Every structure is written in C-alpha cells, then in structure tokens.
Amino acid sequence: MATALASAAAILTPLVVTAPTAGAVVNGAPSGPAPWAVQITTFSGIPGTPCSGVVVAPYWVATARHCGPADPTAYTLGFGNQATVPGGFAETASLASPPIVGAFGSLDSGSLGRHTPVAAYHAPAGDVMLLKLAHPAPSPSVKRAGRDPVPGDVLRFHGFGETTPRGQRSAELRTGLTRLERMEPRAGSWIGRSHTTQGGYGLGDSGGPVFHGDLLVGIHSGSDHARRQPNGTNPAWYESIPFQNGWINWMIANR
C-alpha cells in the first residue's frame, strides 16, 4: 500500500511561492520572505528536539519524524521568517510555555503567530511527520514536486537551526545551497544525499524544506557534523517529497 501511495501525483497548490535566492544557514544570511516556514519547538519534559518545518497544505505542516513523538501536545509552531521562541538549543524547550493567543494570535511583532497542532502522524516509512492544524495556516502552502531532481542539481534549503556550530538557534529563518549527489533507498523510504556548497546544516534545521527552484523536493533529515568543512559546509541527506507524496495526499484527504 505504501508503494502505491508513494506513486500518487503531487498536489499543486494555487499559490506558488518561490524559494529565496541568496544566503546560507551556518555562517550565512537570512532567507528572503518565507511565510510558509515553520519553527517547531518541543515542550520541556517531552522527548524531541527543536526543528524546522514547512506548510504543505492549508491545515498541514511537514517536518522530520525524529523531531518528536506522534503527540500534538508536544509542539508549538511559529509561522513565518521570525522565530517566536528564539534562544540557544538547550534553552528553547523552557521558553515554549507562553499561552497561545486565539487561533493564530501573534506573541511578538515579527511573527505570524504560534499554534499547537491538533494531531501528529509519523509516516509509515521514512523520516517524515505531518502536523495537523485546527485552523488553516496563516500562510500559503508550498508547491510540491512530482519527481526527484537529478544528481548535480543545486538545491536550496532553509532552517531555524544554529548559525554557528554548537551555537545559538537562529531567531530568523536562514538559507543555503546544497548539491545533490545521489538518490538511494533507506529504511523503506527514498532519500537524497548531498553536500552543501553555501552554508551548512546545524542543530535545529531538521525538518526544514529543500527546494529545487520553487518546488519542494525534500524534508531535511540529517547531516554529518563531524565532516563539516572550515567554511561551514557539510554532507547531508533529505527525505524525498515525491516518494512521500502518496502518503501526504492520502493524509490530507482522509485525516
């Protein structure tokens, strides 16, 4: 069933949002306007890590499965370029307790609001999780790719992770470039192996979007911090959105 679902066509949302064209994550610059970006914070005492995410449908956010349990009460979400819970990686959970204001009431002037999802679902295979919202996201959905890029393609990634190795989690969304080396199977799923060329992945970037042009092709799953180069670049891998589209489409239609 998972194979059949994975072959389904991607949903094409009416609004196309183009990925920004400059900057980096570690040692880099802020992203351009990205209302579809999501900062994901886990509450103190619940297993999980601060992560990044992306709006893939009006009621749905995609992130990495390893970011935490399939428990919606574990997370608080912030939408847009500005982090609603800035601070160091270890500090973030303790700062995640201010009350939610209304449906998407803003808790600071730079945010599109914070929200706790009503449901969380782990993909049957692969490092992907979907978070369902009680209200439509206060931001547009991205356009998902129907097929994977090819080796050699340069992709753009985004995240709210640390801006220096083992440093502070970014208070704003940042971006970098990575070159796809190969696609390969992993644990019943399909991943893209790459090496960043501008900036590098850091802690807190997991679950962030990977774009080829204006199409979402991946969800960041992991990177090799031990092989980080002096300029901040490092090897990384992402979960294939074209492979996961069947499951994502089914969840949107049935949950």
The overall pTM is greater than 0.85: no
Between 193 and 101, the higher pLDDT residue? 193
Q: Is residue 3 pLDDT above 70, yes or no? A: no
Q: Which two tokens stand for residue 211?
A: 């774009």
Bridge partners of residue 237, in order along the sequence: 193, 222
- For residue 199, CA distances in Å to 105, 109, 157, 184, 239 come to 33, 28, 10, 24, 20
CB-based burial of residue 51 (10 Å sphere; 0-12 exposed, 13-18 middle, 19+ buried)?
A: buried
SS3 label, residue 226: helix
Q: Rounded mean pLDDT of 226-255?
A: 94
Give the number of other Cβ atoms within 10 Å of residue 245's Cβ.
23
Q: What is the pLDDT of residues 143-175, one digit of tens each?
A: 999 999 999 999 999 998 877 666 666 778 889
Instruction: Say how many Å lie between the first and final Cα of the chain, rounded.
Output: 17
Phi, psi (deg, nearest 5) at residue 73? -70, -5
Q: What residues does each domain of the chain span?
A: 34-141+245-254, 143-242
Q: What is the rounded distance in angstroms from the CA atom of residue 199 to the CA atom of residue 201?
A: 7
**What's the confidence (pLDDT) of residue 178?**
95
Domain 34-141+245-254 falls under CATH 3.90.580.10: no
For residue 203, what are the contacts with CB-CB under 8 A and spacing of at least 6?
49, 50, 89, 161, 162, 166, 169
Q: Residue 86 and residue 18: Cα distance in Å, rounded?
A: 25
Highest averaged pLDDT of the listed ranges 36-40, 54-58, 110-114, 196-200: 54-58
Can you name the residues that pair with 194 across neighbouring β-strands? 180, 236
Give the phi and the psi of residue 188 in degrees, each rounded to 5: 80, 5
pLDDT recorded at residue 196 = 95
The answer to whether 116 touches 76, Cβ cutoff 8 Å, is: yes
Residue 199 and residue 141 in contact, taking contact as beta carbons nearer than 8 Å: no
Class of domain 143-242: mainly beta
pLDDT tens digits, 209-221:
999 999 999 999 9
Per-residue pLDDT, 91: 40
Mean pLDDT of all residues in the chain?
78
Average pLDDT over residues 236-247: 98
pLDDT at residue number 46: 55
Phi/psi for 43 (5° steps) reads: -80, 155
Which tens digit of pLDDT belongs to each residue from 22-32? 223 555 577 88
User: How do the residues of the chain divide into helix, strand and coil, expressed in percent and rounded to 5?
Assistant: 15, 35, 50
The predicted-structure confidence for 232-241, as pLDDT tens digits, reads as follows: 789 999 999 9
Do 130 and 249 touch, CB atoms closer than 8 A? no
